[in-house]
Amino acid sequence: MKAYSSKLPKDYPIAIKPMGEIAGYPVRPGMFDINGVTVLPRGVNFTIHTHYGNYCELLLFHRGEAEPYAVLPFPDEYKIGDVYSMIVFGLDIHEFEYAYRIDGPYQPEKGLLFKRENVILDPYARAIAGWRGWGDRKVGAYHARVVEDKFDWGDMPQSNREMCDLVIYELHVRGFTRHPSSGVEHRGTFAGLMEKIPYLKELGVNAVELMPIFEFDEMRDVREVDGQRLLDYWGYNPVGFFAPNTSYAATEEYNHEGRELKELIKALHDNGIEVILDVVFNHTAEGNENGPSFCFKGLDNKVYYMLTPDGNYYNFSGCGNTLNCNHPIVKLLILECLRYWTVSYRVDGFRFDLASILGRNEDGSPMNNPPLLRSLSYDPVLSNVKLIAEAWDAGGMYQVGSFPASRRWAEWNGRYRDSVRGFLKGENWEAWNAAWSIAGSGDIYGKEFSDDSKSYAGYNSCVNFLTCHDGFTLYDLYSYNVKHNEKNGWNNKDGSDDNRSWNCGAEGETDKPEVLKLRYRMIRNACAVLMCSRGTPMFFAGDEFGNTQYGNNNCYCQDNEVSWLDWGYLEKNRELFEFFRFMIDYRKKHPIIRRKLPDAVCGMGPIHAHSALADVLNVPRDARTFSIGFAGYDKEKGKDDLVYVSVNTHWEDVKITLPHLENMAAWHLSVNTYGDWEGRYCYEEGSEVRIDGEFVMRPRSVAVFTGRAF
C-alpha cells in the first residue's frame, strides 16, 4: 500500500482524510461497525466480515463488465477482529459495481469452502446489479450496486391497526397483472400493481401480502416441459435479502433500485392498505453441495448454514440448504434486514416462510426460547410490525398453536384450513375442530374458549385461511377431487395430496348447470365462514372472482396463464365478486367478529357454539349443522353487536332455531348463500328479512343473522 500525501482542500473533514493509496485510489480504514456500503461526502465505505477467511479484496467493476477494473486488497491494518473495512475516495457511485474475493481454507469435510477465485456478493447489498427483463438469463457473477436513497416518505405515520382488523389479500406481483386481461400499462410489475389500487379499495381489503420480492433469479432452474418454459416463478430462492427484485420494476432504476416499490407502498398506504412481505430466511439460492457459491458459502459457509458433522447441508427447507438462523452473526443479519425494510420501505409486516426453521439450533434441534425469535419479538424498531409465522417446516416440525413467542407472533392457522375445508365439503367428523376454528381456535391458542380464558394468546394470534399460493385456488377447491400438476413435469408427484377438495360432481371444467351452481355456492360458503371467523382472514388473489389454476396446486414454476390472474373472470363472475365485497364490509361493520366486546345488554353470551338447536350449547362430534354466536356491546355505536353464523353441510334441508333475544331485539337474515327466490345472497342493513325463532337451512349453505332492536 502506497502512503498518501496529496494536499486536501481546506474544508475537507480531517476525520476522514485519506491515509494511503491502493490500486490508484486514496483510501483509509473505514467504519467497522456499519455493515455493507455507506456513501460519505467524498468517498464510499465498504465493510464486510468473515470469521474463517484470512484474506479479502474489494473488486470494482464498470457497469455490466465481468472483469474488475480495480482490485483493492484490504491491508492488515484495515481489519479489526473479523471485520474488514475501507473508505475509498474519489468514487462516483453511478459508475461502478462491486463485489469481493475472499480466501481461506478449503476443507469441505469441515464446512470450509473458500476459493479465492470466487466472486462474492455483499450479503448487505441494497441492490444487485444487472437489471434485466424477466426471463433473461443472468450473465456472469453477482455484483452489488450502491443505492442513492432520496425517497421522501414525508410525515406518513406508521399504521396502528391490530392484526385482527386486517383482511389480508395474498398476491404474486408478476402474476397479479401479467395477463393481458389485467388492462394495466405496466404488466407484471410494481407499477402494474399500483394501477390496481382502485380495485383493491373497491374489494375492501386493507392489507396485501406480497409473495417474495427480494432479489431472486427466476432462471435458476429453467427447463422445458412439453414446449413450455418453466421458471422459478414464485421466487422462494433468495439471492439477496436487502435488495428488491429488479425485474419487478417497470423501468431501469440504476442506483435508485427500490424507488418504484417505495412508490407502490406509499400509494397503498395513502389508500389505507398495509403491506406485508413474504420473507424467506430459511434457505438461499446457493442450494446444496452441488449448488453455486456466490455469497454465504464463500463468505463463511460454516457460520451461515446448518451443517452435518461431515460438512454437508441439513435440508429442513426442502430446498437444499438451511440458514443457521440462531447463530449470532446470522441472527444479526436477519434483524438488520427486517429493520431496513421497516425503516427504508415502511413495510407493515412480515410473513416468515417455513418459520419453524427460525427456531432450530445449529444442529437442527428445536429450541425452547430461540434467540432470533426473542430478538425480533422485543426489537424496538419492529415493535409495531406484524410478525406472521408459517409455523412448520419441511423437516417435519409442526408448531401451529405452539410457535415460540406466540403472544407476539401470529401464525398461519393450518388447523383452520384443514378442518374448515373438510367440514364444508361434508366431512362431519371435523365438526368440533371446525367449530373451534371459527370461534377463534381457543383450544390451540390457550386451551379454552377465547373470551373466557386469560391464557388465550389473543385475537391477533391466528391468520385464518382456506387458500393461499401453495395449493388450490378457491374455485379449484370445488372443481377438482385431485391435483393436476402434470404440466410441472414431475408426473404429478409434486404438490400436496391432502387437499380436502370436492369437484361437486364433475372433474375440472364443465358446462353442467347443477354442478356450476353448487360450486359457486360452496365458494360463497367458504367466503362467508372465513369472514365471520375470529382471527385474521386471508385469501388468495383471484378467489373473489373464481380464478382457476386448472387443478394445479403447486404453480411454483408456471409463469403463464396457469398462474396469471385472468381478469376476464371478474366480469363473468361479477356476482361472486360482489358477495366477497359484501362479506368483507360486513366483517368491518361488526367488531364482535374480530374481538371481545363488553357484555351484551340483551343477555346473550359473548361466544358460544350451538347445535342446530340454539338452546343446545354443544356441537356433536358428527354434526352436519352447527352455529357460532358472537355477542357484545359496541360502545362506539351505543348498541349490542350480535352475529349468529349457521353452517349446514348436509345435502338436505335442516331446520335450526335462533337464540332468544331480550330487550325488544330480533334476528335478521343478512346472508344466505343458497339464495332466495330473487337470486339474492346478501342483504344490506334495512333490507334484511326478520327471522322469528327458527329458519330452514337449505342444503349445503351458510346463513348469517344479525341481531338488532325492532
Buried b (16+ CB within 10 A) or exposed e, 604-620: bbbbbbbbbebeeeebe
Predicted confidence (pLDDT) per residue in 680-710, tens digit? 999 998 899 999 999 999 999 999 999 987 6
Q: If pLDDT is split at 50, 70 and 90, which confidence band does 663 have?
A: confident
Specify whether the CB–CB gap between 326 and 366 falls below 8 A: no
Specify whether the CB–CB gap between 392 and 399 falls below 8 A: yes
Q: Is 317 a residue whose pLDDT tops 60?
A: yes
SS3 of residue 438 by DSSP? helix
Backbone angles phi, psi at 234, to 5 degrees: -65, -40
- CB-side exposure of 67: number of CA atoms within 13 Å? 1
Choose the most confident range, by mean pLDDT, from 5-9, 39-43, 252-256, 647-651. Answer: 647-651
Per DSSP, 667 falls in state E
Q: What is the pLDDT of residue 4?
A: 59
Annotation marks residue 353 as catalytic: yes
Give the predicted TM-score (pTM) of the model: 0.96
Specify whether the CB–CB gap between 127 and 243 falls below 8 A: yes
Specify whether the CB–CB gap between 341 and 277 falls below 8 A: yes
* Total H helices, total E strands in the chain: 14, 30
Helix axes 371-378, 328-344, angle to 10 degrees: 30
Annotation marks residue 226 as catalytic: no
User: How far is Cα 207 from Cα 429, in angstroms, rounded to an integer?
Assistant: 34
pLDDT-above-90 percentage for the chain: 88
Whole-Å CA distances, 596 to 423, 440, 456, 463: 26, 11, 12, 17
SS3 of residue 279 by DSSP? strand
Q: If pLDDT is split at 50, 70 and 90, which confidence band does 452 have?
A: low
Predicted confidence (pLDDT) per residue in 483-492, tens digit? 999 999 999 9
Q: If pLDDT is split at 50, 70 and 90, which confidence band does 446 have?
A: confident
User: How far is Cα 82 from Cα 115, in angstroms, rounded to an integer?
Assistant: 18
Specify whether the CB–CB gap between 556 and 185 falls below 8 A: no
User: How far is Cα 615 from Cα 706, in angstroms, rounded to an integer?
Assistant: 18
Q: Is 618 a residue whose pLDDT tops 80?
A: yes
Measured over the CA atoms of residue 208, residue 213, residue 214 and residue 216, the dihedral's sign is positive
Helix axes 431-438, 414-425, angle to 10 degrees: 130
User: How far is Cα 364 from Cα 257, in angstroms, rounded to an integer?
Assistant: 36
SS3 of residue 328 by DSSP? helix
User: How far is Cα 41 from Cα 14, in angstroms, rounded to an integer?
Assistant: 12
Whole-Å CA distances, 123 to 240, 398, 555, 580, 585: 6, 30, 29, 42, 43
Predicted confidence (pLDDT) per residue in 47-106, tens digit? 999 999 999 999 999 998 999 999 999 999 999 999 999 999 999 999 999 999 999 999
Specify whether the CB–CB gap between 552 and 558 falls below 8 A: yes
Closest among 424, 399, 425 to 412, alpha carbons compared:
399
SS3 of residue 460 by DSSP? coil
Strand partners, 79: 84
Q: What is the pLDDT of residue 453?
A: 56
Closest among 223, 222, 238 to 282, alpha carbons compared:
238
Specify whether the CB–CB gap between 210 and 274 falls below 8 A: no
Q: What is the pLDDT of residue 406?
A: 59
Residue 338 Cα to chain centre, angstroms: 14
Specify whether the CB–CB gap between 175 and 471 falls below 8 A: no
Contacts of 332 (CB under 8 A, 6+ apart): none
User: How far is Cα 577 from Cα 366, in angstroms, rounded to an integer?
Assistant: 43
Q: Is 254 a residue whose pLDDT tops 90?
A: no
Predicted confidence (pLDDT) per residue in 335-387, tens digit? 999 999 999 999 999 999 999 999 999 999 999 999 999 999 999 999 999 99
pLDDT-above-70 percentage for the chain: 96
Q: What is the pLDDT of residue 12?
A: 46
Predicted confidence (pLDDT) per residue in 286-299, tens digit? 999 999 999 999 99
Residue type, 282: N
Place of cell 338447536: 613
Specify whether the CB–CB gap between 494 and 485 falls below 8 A: yes
Q: Which candidate in 170, 286, 390, 559 is catalytic?
A: 390
Backbone angles phi, psi at 480, to 5 degrees: -140, 135
Specify whether the CB–CB gap between 202 and 193 falls below 8 A: no
Q: What is the pLDDT of residue 15?
A: 66
Mean per-residue pLDDT over the chain, rounded? 94
Q: What is the pLDDT of residue 451?
A: 55
User: How far is Cα 375 from Cα 392, in angstroms, rounded to an integer?
Assistant: 20
Q: What is the pLDDT of residue 99?
A: 98
Predicted confidence (pLDDT) per residue in 544-563, tens digit? 999 999 999 999 999 999 99
Specify whether the CB–CB gap between 435 and 529 falls below 8 A: no
Cell of 175: 402474476
Specify whether the CB–CB gap between 66 and 140 falls below 8 A: yes
User: How far is Cα 536 from Cα 460, in angstroms, rounded to an integer?
Assistant: 7
User: How far is Cα 144 from Cα 239, in angstroms, rounded to an integer?
Assistant: 11
- The CA dihedral of 580, 583, 589, 594, to the nearest 10 degrees, is -110
CA angle 673, 584, 707 (to 5 degrees): 65
- The CA dihedral of 193, 198, 204, 208, to the nearest 10 degrees, is 20
SS3 of residue 631 by DSSP? strand
Cell of 15: 476525520
Q: What is the pLDDT of residue 14?
A: 46
Q: Which candidate in 278, 353, 476, 641 is catalytic?
A: 353
Q: What is the pLDDT of residue 202?
A: 98
Lowest mean pLDDT among 7-21, 450-464, 529-543: 7-21
Cell of 134: 424477466
Specify whether the CB–CB gap between 415 and 441 falls below 8 A: yes
Q: Is 499 a residue whose pLDDT tops 70?
A: yes
Cell of 640: 349490542
